[in-house]
Amino acid sequence: MKEPLLLSPIRDTSMIESHQTQMVILVDRDPLLRTRLSAAINERQWSTSEFESVETCTNAIEMLSSDLTLCVVSELGLPGRGGLGLQDRLNAMPKPISTIFYTEQASTNEIVTAMNQGALTVIEKSEGHHVVLNRLNEAFELARRKFETAEQQRIARDQLHSLSRGETEVLKGILNGKLNKEIAQQLNLSVRTIEQRRRQIFNKLDVQHPASLTQKVMQATHLLNKQPAPIKLNISLPMISAESVI
C-alpha cells in the first residue's frame, strides 16, 4: 500500500508555518513505534512527520520549507538501501539535517559507517524513547551549526567570485607570500596598480589582514572544514594547505 504523503498531523500546522520551527522526521517500519515516539516528541513542543520508507521521507523533505530545522530519527533496517542509504540522501540535500539512528541491535560496522557518514549517534531501541528525546536538542544545535558553516562558505564563495581577473592574479601572488613589488614584476604592472588591486581584494572579501584573507579563501574552498576536495570555482587559485596559515 502506498504511504500517503502527509507532512504532519493537523495539530502541527501552526508550528510548520513558523520560521523557527524545529521538526523531527520519524522513519520506521513499525507504525506503533512511530505513533508513540511522535507523541512523546510532540509533548516537548516539537512537530513531527512520520514515514516508513526512504523514498517517501526524502520526497517529503524536499517539499518542506527551507526555514525548517530538521532532525531525522530513523531505524537502520529500512527496505531498499536502508538507513545508511537514507543518510546518503540526506547528506546530498542543500540544507544540513541531523540524523539519529534509533534501531534494533546494530553491528559495529553499521555504527562506524553511520557515524562516519555524519550521524549524531546510534541508539538501540532497547534503551527507550527517553534516550532519543534527550539527544534532540543536541541534534538541532548540530544542524544549526552546520547550516551556519554552509552559509559562511556560500558568502565566501560569492565574495571570491566578485573579484575581477586582474584582482584574482594579484590574489594568487598574495597567497603565495609575494610582496607587492614581486607581484608587480611578475604581472608587468606598477606597484601602485598592485596596491590598488590589493585594497579592492581586501574590501570585496571583507578582510583586514593577509591571515584572514587566506582563511577566507580556504573557507570558500572548504579547506577549513577539511572537505575531501575543494569546490569548483570559476577562477583558478593556487592550492592551499591548512598548514600555510599557521
Q: What does the pLDDT read at residue 111?
A: 92
pTM above threshold 0.85? no
Rg (CA), the chain: 23
Check if the beta carbon of residue 188 is closer than 8 Å to that of residue 230. Answer: no
pLDDT of residue 244: 37
**H or E segment to which residue 27 belongs:** strand 22-27
User: Across residues 107-119, what is the average pLDDT?
Assistant: 92
pLDDT at position 209, please?
87
Tell me the mean pLDDT in the region 90-114. 90
Cell numbers placing 162: 566578485
Lowest mean pLDDT among 25-29, 123-127, 154-158, 238-242: 238-242
CA 238 vs CA 99, 154, 214, 217: distances in Å: 36, 20, 11, 10
What is the pLDDT at residue 222? 64
Q: How confident is the model at residue 236 (pLDDT cuts 50, 70, 90)?
A: very low
Model confidence at 28, in pLDDT bands (50, 70, 90)? very high
| Identity of the highest mean pLDDT range in 18-27, 58-67, 199-208 | 199-208
Closest alpha carbon to 74 in 63, 85, 62:
85
